[in-house]
Amino acid sequence: MNAEKEFTLPECNADDRPLVKELLANIKKDLTGLEELLAECNDEWTCEDKVYRFYHGSFKVFELQYYTSKVVETLQRLLPTTPMSERFLDIIRGGTGKEFSRGDNENWSAVTRPILEAFFHARFFLEVAVKYGRELEYPTLRLPSGWAAFLYLYNLR
């Protein structure tokens, strides 16, 4: 039995839009920095500890805003002239720029869940950037869900 190897030319499957090509090129150029930031976000004292702080009712959950902002700034630098998704930015605005006050304890979930939500969305897009920066040789028209979502982040889908 002779199994034939499927052969397709990358050009037939390539997304040749200049901004998409620039985005993937910038991801690849900064892949080490993106990986380091992802490791920092996934560190026990970042993600695990701050989720624990949410359930514990500790003001330290507010520290996640630093990481969220850092990730958003890093993602924006990947395509600096392109505005990011308004849906994404709405989530980020809802979960950043907050300062703890004792009155927050009475409405803990409503005050702090947006902080977690913003962090998780930002971290998701950072994870996707790292994943597809490693996996994609060229921007593809056959869109894995993560890459498609990432393109939405920059209004390219």
Q: How many domains does the chain have?
A: 1
pLDDT at residue 9 in the model: 45
Token pair recorded at residue 83: 């505005």
Please report which confidence band the pLDDT of residue 13 belongs to, taking 50, 70 and 90 as the band edges: confident
List phi, psi (to 5°) of 6: -70, 135
Residue 7 lies in a domain: no
Q: Which residues contact 85 (CB under 8 A, 6 or more apart)?
A: 152, 153, 154, 155
94, 114 contact by CB (below 8 A): yes
Q: Which tens digits make up the pLDDT trace of 14-51?
A: 999 999 999 999 999 999 999 999 999 999 999 999 99
pLDDT at residue 10 in the model: 54
Question: Of 143 and 64, which is predicted with more confidence?
Answer: 64
Q: Which tens digits make up the pLDDT trace of 46-103?
A: 999 999 999 999 999 999 999 999 999 999 999 999 999 999 999 999 999 999 999 9
pLDDT at residue 135 in the model: 96
Residue 127 lies in a domain: yes
What value does the mean pLDDT take over residues 110-131? 98
Token pair recorded at residue 57: 């009712």
Residue 132 lies in a domain: yes
Domain extent for 106: 16-153
Residue 74 lies in a domain: yes
pLDDT at residue 6 in the model: 54
Q: Which residues contact 31 (CB under 8 A, 6 or more apart)?
A: 130, 133, 134
List phi, psi (to 5°) of 113: -60, -40
User: Which of 58, 22, 34 lies closest to 134 in space, CA to CA?
Assistant: 34
Strand-pair partners of 14: 140
Please report which confidence band the pLDDT of residue 5 belongs to, taking 50, 70 and 90 as the band edges: low
Residue 44 lies in a domain: yes
Residue 5 lies in a domain: no
Q: What is the pTM of this model?
A: 0.91
